Chains A and B, each alone.
Chain A
Amino acid sequence: MKKLGLFVTIICGAILLYATGEFPRWGEVRSPASLHVSPHYIKYSVEETDVPNIVTSVLADYRGFDTMFETTVIFCAGLACFLLLRVFGRDDELTPEEEKGIFYRHLPTGIVIQFKKEDVEIRHKDFEVVDSKLVPYDLIIKTACRVLIPFIQLFALYVVAHGDFSPGGGFQGGVIFGASIILLAIAFNLRSAIEKINEKLLGILSALGVFIYAGIGWLCLLLGGNFLDYGRLASILPVDPIRARALGMLGVEIGVGIAVMAVMIIIYINIASAGRHDEGL
């Protein structure tokens, strides 16, 4: 296998390098790539879409259709992780910790207690059963995260909203927001993260996010334009077609943001807990 791999890679590399001879030099201003289609974007982005961030305008408008499917890819990944990993109910085999004894967490303090004797059973609202790995309890990290997370989320919103004028957009914002929740899950524990934003909500959000995108496309269709032709939104928005494009983009960016956020969390919670949705890492 190794030999074969080496052989294949060398052949491929050789072929690829052989062809670079004809490429324009790096940073060549007059390369075909920068002369054929891209000039149109650079020149007319502002005029046609009123969005100075060309990447955003190309992403969400000129090639918006690609982006819709790109979001779908993400959605698909979340779906797949759920389908593959999620196990409903407790699965039979116990983790070593569980065999050692039974863990209880005291909710107000978050301290985890372990009982060596099996027969002990605490029925009290302040205690919950911890059915898997013991999570090290660290006050500093928790406190730090408690402070950080709101700002992270605020920043995420900014990145989504301001994607037209500065680097950023739905994906980036969504990922940041998702990261904030994941941080919560890591610093505290997965269960409390899931309490904040539960599986059902995530599932619906992920679908909703992409649906916002496709829905705006449909709206344009219904308003008599082509699919994703945001200009048509002008007839229901109090703005001119050009501005309407910008707003349409903002809309889809928000959709993308929601979807990406939800999917990131879905993937994390399913992979981190192997689909059991218990303590997690």
Chain B
Amino acid sequence: MMTTDNVFAVLLVVTPLVCAFFVMGLHWVDRRWCYPLAVIANGISFISAVEILISVVKHGTIHYRLGGWRPPIGIEYRIDLLNAVVLVIVSTVALVNLFASYNDISRELPEKKGTFYSLYLLFLTGLLGVVVTGDLFNLYVLLEITSLSAYSQIALGDVRRGPFASLNYIFIGVIGASFYLLGVGYIYIMTGSLNMADVAHLLTRLHYSQAIFVAFIFCMVGVWIKMALFPLHIWLPNAYTYAPTASGRVIAPLMTKVMVYVMIRLMFTVFGITYLFKVVHISQFVVWLASVAIIYGGLMALSQNNLKKMLTYIIVSEIGYMVGGAWLGNKLGLTGAILHIINDAFMTFALFLAAGNFAYRLGELTLDNFNDIFSKMPWTMAGFVVAGLSIIGVPPTCGFFSKWYLLLGAFAARQYFFFVALILSSLVNAILFFRIFEKGLFGGGGHHVSVRGEIQEAPVNMIICLGLISVGLVVLGLYAGDIVNTFIIPFIPQGLG
């Protein structure tokens, strides 16, 4: 039995953790080593993530029993395709961002570098841990690590607004986490177990219990708060806008996606489809909520004059995509949702990378500063265009294909409102981005004359990272079919319409 435990499963999480401590120590000894060590740690977890994905595809689900205790007694890592894919996404994005953010950090936090990298690694650890764990309470603890490091990174951002945004995030985040904890508590009272698989097994007897229903509602609401689904999204735009560039770039794409993952995990692994779509009848409601989120996010994005704010509202509407897709209750919808987790992580990451490059040169990101940007920062803009097209959903970028599956699912599930919302959001995104492209192509009023002379292309490493990701968007698009067949279809639970 021991032999089946895959070492990478634990290396993945523990390496960045331990290195975080080393980085912290080195901060006091010799700061030059902090950055390389952080990169190495992140690299190792990336490699192990890839290893895990490969072995999951080859040999199926991985189990790892921490402390060597069997599941319900001890904590267990249980990695199936879904976690494996998300793990790869998380570690990739974090790694690329680490490369991209060297300049930002040395500019924004000179004498706290080491500690910042340590915090960054802890954030990474938290995300990976959340994704990899198979234990409800362990998930909560790691969620808190992630949130704590996110809170403090955001508070480090914009001096005037950062801390306030962060504090609001703390309040709402704590409410979300506590709701989730309460939900787990209710589950524990009724079942006496915390291991996901075990709970799932025990719940089959308790489908019609009110307590379990309440537990379900509270877990869901908690997760929705953390992922900022429409009415619960208030904290997100400010928090992500005023975060330091280096952090915002990784928090914005990953935090929400990981929470969506958690939602899907709870829905389909813990509670199971019979419970979701036969017993509790809230799917209709959630899909409507998601549709509203999509439209609302789009419209709010239209009304923004700051690029980063705009992007954050786009995230709000993208969350609507994934939640709606997951709750459509058919194969196509879920496929679309999972595929969109993959694609959207990279799309938003590319957008934020581009925004980072702009911020590095332009400072303020108000849209007027983008006049004639094409000629000033051609490469960055090229990457930005690809990312934008992908968000709009223009083939062959990956955004199109996830949207394709979502639309199919919506039509198959007869959720026409969701269908329309998706189409509308494509149109709105088109307006959003072409507004910027147009500014970039035409001189416009020239509000930025003072700086215009000085603006030049962003540093090479940032450009390379952006280029890498935006090429990746097209590649992901072209291989969408294979991705779906290898990674997603096998995960889809049986009996889903």
Contact = CB atoms under 8 A, between A and B. Distances in A.
In-complex A–B contact (CB below 8 Å):
yes
Interface string A36-55: 11101100000000000000
A72 B137 contact: no
**B interface, over-half SS:** helix
Contacts of A69: 129, 138, 141-142, 145
B210 A79 contact: no
B28 A226 contact: no
Interface string B98-140: 0000000000010110011011001001000100000101100
Interface in A3-38: 15-16, 18-24, 31-38
A27 B125 CA distance: 38
Contact of B27 (A15, A16, A65, A203): A203
Given A24-B189, A208-B25, A80 B148 contact: yes
B283 interface: no
B368 interface: no
B192 A76 contact: no
Contact of B210 (A21, A37, A82, A203): A21
Interface in B383-441: none
Given A32-B191, A204-B28, A66 B141 contact: yes
A97 interface: no
Contacts of A227: 10, 14, 64, 66-67
B196 to A, nearest CB: 14
Interface stretch (B70-78, B84-92, B254-262): B70-78
Nearest to B23: A207
A170 interface: no
Interface stretch (B151-159, B273-281, B327-335, B446-454): B151-159
A62 B72 contact: no
Nearest to B123: A76
A70 B116 CA distance: 20
Contacts of B148: 73, 76-77, 80
A123 interface: no
A133 B142 CA distance: 40
B138 to A, nearest CB: 6
Contacts of A73: 141, 144-145, 148
Contact of A23 (B17, B22, B189, B217): B189
B24 interface: yes
A16 B218 CA distance: 9
A86 B191 CA distance: 46
Contact of A22 (B10, B25, B67, B210): B210
B74 A63 contact: yes
Interface residues of A, number: 59
A235 B497 CA distance: 54
B352 interface: no
B193 A37 contact: yes
Contacts of B25: 203-204, 207-208, 211
B21 interface: yes
A218 interface: yes
A63 B151 CA distance: 27
A207 B66 contact: no
A75 interface: yes
Contact of B21 (A15, A77, A214, A228): A214
B7 interface: yes
B191 A226 contact: no
B342 to A, nearest CB: 27
Chain B interface size range: 35 or more
Nearest to B182: A16
B256 to A, nearest CB: 21
Given A19-B186, A73-B145, A75-B21, A218 B14 contact: yes
B188 interface: yes
B73 A40 contact: yes
Nearest to A209: B21
Nearest to A80: B152
Given A19-B211, A33-B192, A62 B74 contact: yes
A211 B19 CA distance: 9
A16 B141 CA distance: 23
A172 interface: no
B7 A37 contact: no
A237 B247 CA distance: 44
Contact of A82 (B115, B192, B214): B115
A132 interface: no
A217 interface: yes
Contacts of B129: 69
B149 interface: yes
A148 interface: no
Interface in A174-207: 200, 203-204, 206-207
A228 B28 contact: no
Interface string A117-137: 000000000000000000000
A229 to B, nearest CB: 4
A211 B129 CA distance: 17
Given A66-B75, A76-B145, A203-B25, A37 B192 contact: yes
B67 A16 contact: no
Contact of B152 (A22, A62, A84, A204): A84
B69 A62 contact: yes
Given A33-B189, A66-B138, A72 B145 contact: yes
Interface string A216-246: 0110010001111111000000000000000
Interface of A: 15-16, 18-24, 31-38, 40-41, 61-66, 69-70, 72-73, 75-77, 79-80, 82-84, 86, 88, 200, 203-204, 206-208, 210-211, 214-215, 217-218, 221, 225-231
30 contacts: A15-B218, A18-B214, A19-B210, A20-B211, A22-B190, A22-B211, A24-B189, A32-B189, A33-B192, A36-B193, A40-B73, A64-B66, A66-B135, A70-B141, A73-B141, A73-B144, A75-B122, A76-B145, A80-B119, A80-B155, A83-B119, A204-B24, A207-B25, A211-B18, A211-B21, A211-B22, A226-B10, A226-B67, A229-B67, A231-B68
The 7 closest A-B pairs by CB, nearest first: A36-B192, A80-B152, A19-B214, A229-B68, A207-B21, A207-B24, A32-B192
Given A62-B74, A226-B66, A227-B67, 13 more contacts: A15-B218, A19-B211, A36-B202, A37-B73, A37-B192, A65-B67, A76-B149, A77-B148, A80-B148, A207-B21, A211-B22, A217-B14, A226-B10
Interface of B: 2, 5, 7, 10, 14, 17-18, 21-22, 24-25, 27-28, 64-69, 72-75, 109, 111-112, 115-116, 118-119, 122, 125, 129, 135, 137-138, 141-142, 144-145, 148-149, 151-152, 155-156, 163, 182, 186, 188-194, 202, 209-211, 213-215, 217-218
